[in-house]
Amino acid sequence: MKIHCGRKNKEGTTLVDVIMAVAITGIMASGVLGSLSYGFFVMQLARENQRATQIMLERTEAIRLYNWTQVTNATFIPTTFTDVYDPQAATNAQGVVYHGTLVKSSVPFSASYSSNMLQITLTLTWNTKAIAHTRSLTTYIARDGIQNYVF
């Protein structure tokens, strides 16, 4: 007994099928690469935000350890500064440069002790791929603050 499986299919893939397959593969690949690029960019922003927070906390914690005479001295604490993302890297490969300003002002409320306090506002600015970022931190310093316990 002979079993006939029918005619053999001698048709091949046409040029239109190949072009459509390449187009679909290209669209998928560009989507994957775009997602990876966006993911790396978001991670870079998270690192830069974290570093900005570290810089601001470092500065404010140092200021909290100064005595009242040092804090109220106009020249003791610099009002502008710069910091780099990786200070141990090579000179031209240190990464993001953070520009900071520090503003000392009187406290925004009236109380019997308000003359013994200062408000300090620390602001950092930096750029990521031509996008400007700003981060700010405000704290209060008192005449009889933590520095009296340390020194």
pLDDT at 9: 60
Q: Give the Cα separation of 122 and 51 in Å (integer).
A: 14
Q: What is the pLDDT of residues 85-112, one digit of tens each?
A: 776 777 777 788 899 999 999 888 888 8
pLDDT at 146: 62
Whether residue 8 lies inside any domain: the answer is: no
**H or E element, residue 43:** helix 15-64
If one counts the domains in the chain, the total is 1
Whether residue 87 lies inside any domain: the answer is: yes
Q: What is the pLDDT of residues 4-42, one digit of tens each?
A: 666 666 566 788 888 999 999 999 999 999 999 999 999
Whether residue 38 lies inside any domain: the answer is: no
What DSSP string describes 52-86?
HHHHHHHHHHHHHTS-HHHHH-TTTS-SEEEEES-
Mean pLDDT to the nearest integer, 117-135:
92
Whether residue 40 lies inside any domain: the answer is: no
Single out the residue of 30, 10, 26 nearest to residue 18, CA to CA: 26
pLDDT at 43: 93
Q: Give the Cα separation of 118 and 116 in Å (integer).
A: 7
- Kindly report the pTM of this predicted structure: 0.73
pLDDT at 63: 87
Whether residue 144 lies inside any domain: the answer is: yes
pLDDT at 59: 92
Q: Give the range of the structural domain holding residue 106, as residue numbers without chain letter.
A: 51-150
pLDDT at 49: 92
Strand arrangement, sheet containing 80-84: 80-84, 97-105, 117-128, 131-142
Residue with tokens 């005479």: 69
